[in-house]
Amino acid sequence: MNHNTTESSVIPIRTLRERFRRKRITCIMLFCITIILIITIPTVIVLVKNESTTKTSTTYTISTDSTSFVIPTSTIDEVSTDSMPSVIQTSSRLTITTLTKEQMVTSVHNDINVKWMQNAMTVAGGHGRGDELKQLANPYGIDILQEDNDQLIYVTDYDNHRIMEWRSNAIEGRVIAGGNYIGSSIYQLNQPTDVVFDEKDDSLIICDKGNRRIVRWFRQKHTTPQIIISYIDCWSLAIDSQRNLYVVNYGMSEIRRYSENDTDGTLITNGYNNTDRFNQPSYIFIDKNDSIYLSDWGNHQVIKQMKDMSYNSIVAGGHGFGNDSKQLIYPQGIFVDDLDNVYVVDGDNSRIMRWCKECEKGEKVIGGNGFGILENQLNGPKDMVFDRENNIYVVDKDNHRVQKFSVDVD
């Protein structure tokens, strides 16, 4: 037997066995890797999706009077809850003007379809006519002040000759002005009809109707009240962006404007286009552009006059005495939103109406269920005001209460 021949035949067999072993190991490794990938990839996908959902499900909404920005929390590097920084660093380098807490409220008036709950909550009075701190007697005017986390409601308590202050959820109010019986001394009031807050002096400006004067009462009790305008038949007040005071002089059926320390005033208007005289004008409202809105009570219409213009126009009612969607009966308080929608207290129809800009017809937003004392009824409503959350407050005069109609979020 040839030794070289035998040796040469054995070497290929060994080589084949070695190659087979390596291939088997490689196949096993590939199989294991495949199994690991099959298990791992779906798990990673699920985790990534969950993380993405978590980052985008919560947003911060920041709004100004007319514009809202919705910013995903996943893109915000820094946000302060006390006041928004002048620039919020985001992935898109979005720049936002500094906002205070008071400004961080979305205006529902950007949506004409907003609704209010039809059953109201009593937030002042509501315990019958009387002079106790939990009672009112024929209230007329109202204003609201946001103070820190509290909300102060100021009401003219006509037949108690005082201004009442009510805090949120308070059982009773407190006397903030007057309340010293009827009289004409500096510390007395006589049938006040309206009140507005003046931020500069931290004071309340009051129509002291029975004394034919306008007075300023400071919220700090140690400061003596001031008579700022005398011999005027004041019914309603409003302040514009320059702190000019507008007064409805019902005795002269006119609106006058008073700058600071001005006791004579300037005649703004006394009729529809200054030809048809107003018929017992009642409440006034000044919008963000300093346009004037006036309830022309006896003519059953609301008039708008733009700043520095001599002419005006009818923006609500103006179709005579009645209760259809074109009409008003003795309109009272007014509010105008950022889109120039006009809200009117339709006095003798016991309802709140809304006229959109340039609409011939209005729509009922509250009330209209007849005179009564139920939660969905009003009785002789007078003034109205909106708070920061766009809830409506109505002075329900003959029920001696103030009713809050909350925004319907459903």
pLDDT tens digits, residue range 259-282?
A: 998 999 999 999 988 778 999 999
Average pLDDT taken over every residue of the chain: 82
* Residues near 130 by beta carbon (within 8 Å), at least 6 away in sequence: 136, 137, 400
pLDDT of 200 above 50: yes
Mean pLDDT score, 217-245: 94
SS (HEC) of the chain = CCHHHHHHHHHHHHHHHHHHHHHHHHHHHHHHHHHHHHHHHHHHHHHHHHHHHHHHCCEEEEECCCCEEEEEHHHCCCCCCCCCCCECCCCCCCECCCCCHHHCCCCHHHCCCCCECCCCEEEEECCCECCCCCCECCEEEEEEEEECCEEEEEEEEHHHCEEEEEECCCCCCEEEEECCCECCCCCCECCCCEEEEECCCCEEEEEEHHHCEEEEEECCCCCCCEEEEECCCEEEEEECCCCCEEEEECCCCEEEEECCCCCCCEEEECEECCCEECCCCCCEEECCCCCEEEEEHHHCEEEEECCCCCCCEEEEECCCECCCCCCECCEEEEEECCCCCEEEEEHHHCEEEEECCCCCCCEEEEECCCECCCCCCECCEEEEEECCCCCEEEEEHHHCEEEEECECCC
Instruction: Quickly state the pLDDT bin for 167 (edges 50, 70, 90).
Output: very high
Distance of CA 168 to the CA centre of its chain: 16
pLDDT category of residue 35 using cuts at 50, 70 and 90? confident
- What is residue 13's predicted lDDT score, i.e. its pLDDT? 61
Average pLDDT rounded to a whole number, residues 157-164: 98
pLDDT surpassing 70 at residue 6: no
- Give how far Cα 381 sits from Cα of 163, 345, 375, 405, Å: 18, 7, 13, 13
Residue 382 has pLDDT above 70, yes or no: yes
In percent, how much of the chain has pLDDT > 70?
77
Distance CA 193, CA 161 (A): 10
Confidence of residue 83 (pLDDT cuts 50, 70, 90): very low
The Cα–Cα gap between 313 and 306 comes to: 9
**Residue 274 carries which side chain, given as an amino acid letter?**
N
Confidence of residue 350 (pLDDT cuts 50, 70, 90): very high
Q: Quick one: which of 237, 221, 211, 216 has its CA closest to 140? A: 237
Q: What are 92-137's pLDDT values in tens digits?
A: 323 333 333 333 333 444 467 789 999 999 999 999 999 999 999 9
φ and ψ of 305, to 5 deg = -130, 120
What pLDDT score does 273 carry? 82
Instruction: Please tell me which residue, 260 or 328, carries the higher pLDDT value.
Output: 328
